[in-house]
Structure 1
Amino acid sequence: MSAEFSHEVSSRICKHMNEDHANAVLLYAQHFGGVANATKAEMLKIDSVGMDLTVQVSEETLPLRIEFDHNLVDSEDAHHTLIAMVKQARTS
């Protein structure tokens, strides 16, 4: 896979995360994005370098970019990385 995920791959991952793992997306925003007071987050896009979220803080919706600790190789790498990030956020 190239350095950028295709629109289809990004959309599929985001849809899955938002529908099935909304709590994990919120954890990413709170822990890795430094927005501890976020009450809701949505994944908009994922690429090999990071993910773009929107974050709800009080009445305001803010954009948030979270970069990965390495460049993702493919969607399987994204899957494993997102799981590892959730585990890290939960144990910190």
Structure 2
Amino acid sequence: MADPITPAISERICKHMNDDHAAAVLTYAQVYGKSPTAETAAMSAIDPLGMDLTAQVDGETVNLRIPFDRELTDSEDAHQTLIAMIKQARTLSST
């Protein structure tokens, strides 16, 4: 069974995303954060309703809140949702 999204789980997910999937986090900022000129982005928190990113946009640091399309149930749901979101974002940006 997957873990509920607690602050400790949020920290683990954010570290993993920032360390291993930085390009995906940047894509989330550019597409879902409506910041196409973002140069870098880091995930600072995730909860059942959305994710918080800090991005460099046009030389400024901005905080972005990206809501999910539904409330997530646990860490596995977060994992699957983030995968689905990056696939969708790549499709949107290639059209």
TM-score range, shorter chain: over 0.9
What CA distance in whole angstroms lies between the structure 2 residues aligned with 1:83 and 1:70? 15
Counterpart in 1 of 2:47? Answer: 47
| 1:21 and 2:21 are equivalent in the alignment | yes
Deviations 1:5-61 (A, max 9, x none): 211100000000000000000000111110000010000000000000001013211
Q: What count of residue pairs does the alignment treat as equivalent?
A: 90
| 2:24 partner amino acid | A
**Which residue of 1 is the match for residue 65 of structure 2?**
65
Give the SS at the match of 1:70. coil
Give 1:51's aligned amino acid.
M
For 1:34, what is the secondary structure of its paired residue? coil
2:26 is the counterpart of 1:35: no
Aligned to 1:85: 85
With structure 1 as the length reference, what TM-score do the two structures score?
0.94
Mind listing any 5+ residue stretches in structure 1 that lack a counterpart? Answer: none
Moved over 2 A (4+): none
Could you tell me the TM-score, scaled by structure 2's length?
0.91
When the two chains are superposed, the root-mean-square deviation of aligned CA atoms in Å is 1.0
SS of residue matched to 2:19: helix
Identity across matched positions, percent: 60
